[in-house]
Structure formats: C-alpha cells, structure tokens
Homo-oligomer: A and B are copies of this chain.
Amino acid sequence: MAPALRLEILARSRATGARLGRVTTPHGSFDTPAFMPVGTRGTVKGLTPEQVARTGSQIVLGNTYHLLLRPGPGVVRRLGGLHRFMGWPGPILTDSGGYQAFSMADLNAVDDDGVTFRSIVDGSAVRLTPESATRIQNELGADIIMAFDDCPPADVSERGDPGPVRGAGRRPLPGREHSERLSVANERTVRWLERCRAAHARPDEQALFGIVQGGTDEGARRWSAERVTNIDLPGYAIGGVAVGEPPEDIARVVRFTTPLLPEGKPRYLMGVGYERDILSAVLAGVDMFDCVLPTRNGRNATAFTPGGTLRLRNAAHAEDPSPIQEGCDCGACSPLTLEQGVSGPDEARKGLARDHFSRGYIRHLFMAGEMLGPILVSLHNLRYFQRLMSDIRRTVRDDDWQGFVRRWPQAAAGWTPSPSSPA
C-alpha cells in the first residue's frame, strides 16, 4: 500500500521552530508552510480554478458539511469526484463536517455515536457519525481528509451543553475549561478518531489527519495530543483555536501544542487566520493553514495590504487612481495583458493593458453591486496571502527574519526577531 501523502522537510530555521517543506499527494505537491483558500461548496467563491491557481494557491479546502447537504456526496462521486467536479486538478483537503454540524445547525443533538442536526438547505434531520463523515469524505475523494471530532461551542462550560451557536461569533473559553462537557468532548474525539480510521476505505489514496483539541487549557491540549498522536496517521491538526480568543491565546496554545505533534508529519492549524496568527504558528512549526478571511473580506470590500486592511467602500477611495497595493502582482493590481481579441495600435493598447484597476473603480463596483468588485478584491487578497506564504518560505530557507519583519509589518505586529529567541 503506497502512502497517500509524503512530507519532505527541505529546510529548518535555526532561529525559530519554522520549517520549509513539500507535501506530495496523489494529485500533486504543495509547498509548506501552505495557505489553503476555502472552496466551501466546491468553488472558491467567485473565482475560476485557473484564477485561484494564478494566485499561487496549490491546495484548496472543501467543506464536507456543505457538500453533504448539496449536491450530496453521491452526486460528486458520480460526476468524477471532487477534483473533477470543481475543476481543480491539484491537491484538495476536506474537513469532516463536524465543526459546522456543531456550530451552524439550528438544532443539534450530540451523543456518543455522533451528532444530529437540521439541514440549512431543506430543514431535514441529518446524522453525522465518525463512520459516515469518513465515508462521505471517501466519496468526495480529497487527498487529505479530516477526522470527525466532537467540537462543543467555545462557551460550553458556561452553558452546560451546546446550543444554537452560529458562525465565528463564539466566545473564547472561560476559566473553567475542565467542565464535564469539554472533558467528554476531548475523550470522545479520541474514540471517534479510532472509528474514523477503522471506517476509512481509501487509506492509500486519501490521508486521514487526526485533530488535537483541548481549548486554551494546556493540560487538556497535552492529554489530547498524546492520545491523538498515539494513533498512527499521515498528519495531525490543531483544532479549536481561533474561535474568538485573543491572539496572545492563539499564539500560546499553538506554541504549546505544535511541538507535541510528530516532527516528520504535516501539522495543520485549522481555520487560522490573520497574518500575525499565521506567522506566529509558522515560527512554532506549523505547516498548513486555511481561512475564509481573504475571500470573505474580499466580498466585503476589505483588502489586505502589508500595512493593514483597506475598506474600499470608503468615500476616500472614490477618485483614487492608485491600485489596492503598489507593486502587487495580483489580478486586480496588475491584470494580465489582453491576450487576444483586441488588435490595433500596439502602443496605446499595451500601455493601458498593463495598468491596474484603481481603488476608485473597485469602489464603484461595490457601490453599484457589481460582481466584479468581490472578484477583484478576492483575487488580490488570495494573492496577498500567497505572497505572504511564499515570503515566509523564502525566509525560513534563508533564516532572515529581520528582512521579513520589514516587508510584512502587519504580519510581524510588533514582533522583533532575534537569532536566539523565537517569537
């Protein structure tokens, strides 16, 4: 049986815990540290796969929860699997659906066997168990699939049991992290991981990753990391962070947990995040990230730049001829020269074609409700994150963190690197 996934570590930072690597899957390789755009329903919103690839993205994420509800894993499988379905021939990772089943459903009931929730598409009752979540991901066919874990809302210990909680507005864990519910969840996650592994029907084609939970409590994290990594898997993730807690807590939990994961396997920090969170995690030795920020903020007219975000609906941009970011090579700041169709005076054409879309134009698109606004800012933001990752990879290789901090002040967020003390 050939392994579904292989990590080569190509360089290690001497000054920090960061490492440069390359992960190879049945659908190609990606460089680490890697950022995965989120393609929730089989599409990175508003972009063609070609446009996504041009941002430098090498692996994308799909959401099992959404694809389960619509169009259903059988449809995806019969249309050739998720790669073929969404036209993305490179590596794909799917989550297990657990996070959404616990956080998005209006009604959910969890027991030792799994969770039942109401479909956001048609209101019907849907059941997910470790076995079904794994089987569904087997049908979708992603290169990396995630364990189905018990993820109670972050405010569980104040409320006793999970209730309706929506989206990312979950409160951080309070002081009493060792509530009954959290402890149950932590133990259940390990039992469920064994069941996921037993149910996994395509281990030679799909790499199953386990997920370490434990909230912001270091004891719970250590317990979870030991039990989860005791189960031999091709990679491990850190779950349950960046659910509303302050960045210092994210950094602390990640710094504590990452070294507890095996050195020779990919380490994936789920759902993170802002530039500073990514940098901090990279310095602790994390290899993989995903987040909706670049595309969700792109749709909301918020653009990332190395100096901070821009709100492009702001009236100040109405007549601003500048690009979102000077020197950026994205499809909004530096669109491709038209390749065909236009002929005529080459001088005028080339001069214009090399030009950027202005902030004033992009603001106009948002004010008029035109699709091209979200498209252009999503293109920019994804390219921004991929240039950040690319620069991080070069910096790991060269171990030149002083230069990195100058180029990415927003990511460094005040951090002053020194050769002896990692962030």
Contact = CB atoms under 8 A, between A and B. Distances in A.
A37 to B, nearest CB: 11
Contact of A341 (B57, B368, B370): B57
Given A78-B319, A87-B361, A349-B89, A372 B25 contact: no
B368 A371 contact: no
Nearest to A57: B341
A120 to B, nearest CB: 11
A365 B71 CA distance: 9
Interface stretch (A175-183, A239-247, A350-358): A350-358
Interface in A364-392: 364-365, 367-368, 370-372, 374-376
B372 A371 contact: no
A340 B54 contact: yes
Contacts of A24: 344
A172 interface: no
A71 B364 contact: yes
A419 interface: no
A372 B349 CA distance: 29
A55 B331 CA distance: 18
A292 interface: no
A307 interface: no
Nearest to A66: B368
Contacts of A368: 41, 66, 70
B75 A318 contact: yes
Nearest to A52: B341
Nearest to A29: B344
Interface in A321-349: 321, 331, 335-336, 338-345, 348-349
A335 B374 contact: no
Nearest to A83: B352
Interface residues of A, number: 73
A58 interface: yes
Interface stretch (A43-51, A108-116, A151-159, A221-229): A43-51
A57 B338 CA distance: 11
Contacts of A361: 42, 79, 85-87
Given A71-B364, A352-B83, A342 B54 contact: no
B42 A344 contact: no
Given A48-B331, A90-B338, A360-B75, A344 B27 contact: yes
Interface in A1-50: 24-30, 41-43, 45-50
The 10 tightest CB contacts between A and B, nearest first, are: A28-B344, A89-B352, A90-B342, A53-B338, A53-B341, A46-B371, A43-B372, A71-B364, A29-B344, A89-B353
Given A48-B372, A89-B348, 7 more contacts: A25-B344, A27-B352, A30-B343, A46-B375, A84-B358, A87-B335, A90-B344
Interface of A: 24-30, 41-43, 45-50, 52-58, 66, 70-71, 75, 78-80, 83-87, 89-91, 318-319, 321, 331, 335-336, 338-345, 348-353, 355, 357-358, 360-361, 364-365, 367-368, 370-372, 374-376
